[in-house]
Amino acid sequence: MDLLAALRAHRLLAIVRGNDPDAALKTVLTLAEEGVTLIEVSLTGHGALDVIAQARAALGPGATLGAGTVLSADDAHAAHRAGAAFLVTPALGEGVATGRDLGLPVLAGVMTPTDILQAQRMGAQALKLFPAGSAGGPGYLRDLRAPFPDLPFVPVGGVDAPAAAAYLAAGAVAVGVGSPLVADAAAGGGLAALRERAREFLDVVREEPAP
């Protein structure tokens, strides 16, 4: 898949992490029903690989379903076998290079300009600015875009709806959103509230003009 094109087109990456595999699967499927096209299932969640495999079977081969928190080569191989179409890493480790070798696009975790240059050398298709809130928020993204104006940044970490709008206005290609969107749904919480939050975030990303 062309991860960068998907990020530019949809602008919202949902991050699902939960300790209840059945609830996590329902969360993924509910998000997809609401029109959230890009969904990442974090490997730190209980039974995450099974969730990816079941979601892949339910959503079909064309779904833009990925695996997150990919740290090692083993993580990358396992995610690939489960049906992940892309990988997301919190940092620049073996998962990035292995994903590239497997033919999977990688959203690689970066924080500093040095990280950014290394991620480019490793073949990352897009750059996960993480943890974005701790790094200084939209202002830090603007600072990074001065020397790197054409690179695709995806802020992740503490991104609620107002922050999503601010990051997109600052030039982010997309935003990655975990608990402000998913909340307790992946642990068995209400799906009706999840649908409302999904619609709120979709409204935000649709309103902000593309950089």
Q: Which residues are the active-site residues? A: 40, 128
Strand partners, 14: 39, 177
Torsion, CA 27, CA 99, CA 160, CA 39, rounded to 10: -30
Which of 118, 208, 115, 107 has the alpha carbon at shortest distance from 153?
107
CA distances from 14 to 101, 122, 149, 211 (A): 25, 24, 25, 20
Distance CA 82, CA 63 (A): 13
Maximum CA extent, the chain = 44
